[in-house]
Amino acid sequence: MTEDARWLSGLEEQARARLAAPVFEYVAQGARDGQTASRAVDTWAAVEFHPHVLRDVTDVGLETELLGSPVGVPWGVAPSTLQRAIHPDGELAMARATAQAGGVMVVSSNAGTPFSLIGETGVRWWLQAYLPADRTLAVPMLDRAVAAGASAVVLTVDTPVVGTKYPVGRVVWDVVDPALLRVNFDKGTDERPGADKALDLGPHDVDWLAEHTGLPVVVKGVLRPDDAVRCVQAGARAVWVSNHGGRQLDRAVSTAAVLREVIAAVGEQAQVYVDGGVRSGLDVVAALSLGADAVFLGRLPLYALTDGEPGVARMHREVGAQVVETMRLSGCRTLADVAALHAPSAPNHP
């Protein structure tokens, strides 16, 4: 049983009340008119289940395997910067709580905490990377991540430029110390020629990242089946269906709407992950029922981070409690059972 069945749904308002207005706006807002961001939550709520009955649900298992390694739960934390603007412990609080929950944490390349300290928490973590026009400028950052124990690289491909936002009043950069981000880059990197985000990303970058780091590469920001196939052909071990939380291209399609198409396109060749508007354990089950191998939470853990490590730990517990309850009510003992919830099985005639 959860401690408070509505606690998760109240996290956004808790964050709004506690954070400086520009910081909250940075976390919550979408690009331009915010259409993609505002639609995301409702698209998961529209996913309906076809529950089984007369199933033994005494023991429910949440364990799964991502990129060939076992993990305790099928959800993780998506990458985000400025976590130390939300709470002084920032990425360290997020990492410790996520390690305790048995999940994967994806760390932004723009993080405000040294990778070495994140690695020392014992969390299983992947590096999120943007590539600059001059790829060599990313090499020191990539090497630091590998040395600190990153076990995968997540290449974000939907951000050749930063999507336009319409701020109200002061922006986050007016109130946040620049020392709270990009601490894993060499000093002066941002002033060097070629430091802008790459406008020429291509399949070759997937191969280059894999070869340089020796790690599996996940491609994040895919919304089309044909692009998913190109990613897999380029060597991606997983494809991450994401519209960047509605923060890049406004009017982009919701991730829930295209998830099954992407999964069908890549088949058994690669895993498929998803994010975007996931706010509860029921949303996690909805994504898993559509076939996702894992679900990543973006804004929800940031809102929980206003309470530091205890807040993020409670968020994981509450999500877990909702997932387990939903699985039991649906007659599911394993995550494989959940994958069959979205559509009824064909009749089993004698």
Predicted local distance difference test score (pLDDT) of residue 342: 75
Q: Is 298 annotated as a binding residue?
A: yes
At 249, the amino acid letter reads L
Q: Residue 1: which pLDDT band, with cuts at 50, 70 and 90? A: very low
Predicted local distance difference test score (pLDDT) of residue 3: 53
11-15, 120-124, 166-170, 198-202 — which is least confidently predicted?
166-170
DSSP 313-337: HHHHHHHHHHHHHHHHHTT-SSHHH
Type and span of the H or E element at 260? helix 255-266
Predicted local distance difference test score (pLDDT) of residue 341: 86
At 310, the amino acid letter reads P
Q: Is 275 annotated as a binding residue?
A: yes
Res. 149: pLDDT tops 50: yes
* Structure-block tokens of residue 200: 């020429």
Q: Residue 5: which pLDDT band, with cuts at 50, 70 and 90? A: confident
Distance CA 285, CA 319 (A): 10
Q: Is 204 annotated as a binding residue?
A: no
Q: Is 128 annotated as a binding residue?
A: yes
By CB neighbour count within 10 A (0-12 exposed, 13-18 middle, 19+ buried), where does 35 fall?
middle
Q: Is 108 annotated as a binding residue?
A: yes
Report, as an integer, the average pLDDT of 321-334.
Answer: 97
Predicted local distance difference test score (pLDDT) of residue 156: 98
Predicted local distance difference test score (pLDDT) of residue 318: 98
Domain boundaries, the chain: 8-338
Q: Cα–chain-centroid distance for residue 201? A: 21
CATH class (in words) of the domain with range 8-338: alpha beta
Report, as an integer, the average pLDDT of 20-44.
Answer: 96
Residues 233-251 have pLDDT tens digits of 999 999 999 999 999 999 9
Predicted local distance difference test score (pLDDT) of residue 347: 46
Res. 162: pLDDT tops 50: yes
Predicted local distance difference test score (pLDDT) of residue 17: 98
Which residues lie closer than 8 Å to 56 by C-beta, 6 or more apart? 333
Distance CA 180, CA 138 (A): 19
Report, as an integer, the average pLDDT of 254-261.
Answer: 97
Q: Which is nearest to 265 in space by CA: 226, 319, 304?
A: 226
- The question of whether 244 is a catalytic residue gets the answer yes
Catalytic residue among 204, 212, 244, 316: 244
* Structure-block tokens of residue 196: 């802008």
pTM score above 0.85: yes
Res. 23: pLDDT tops 70: yes
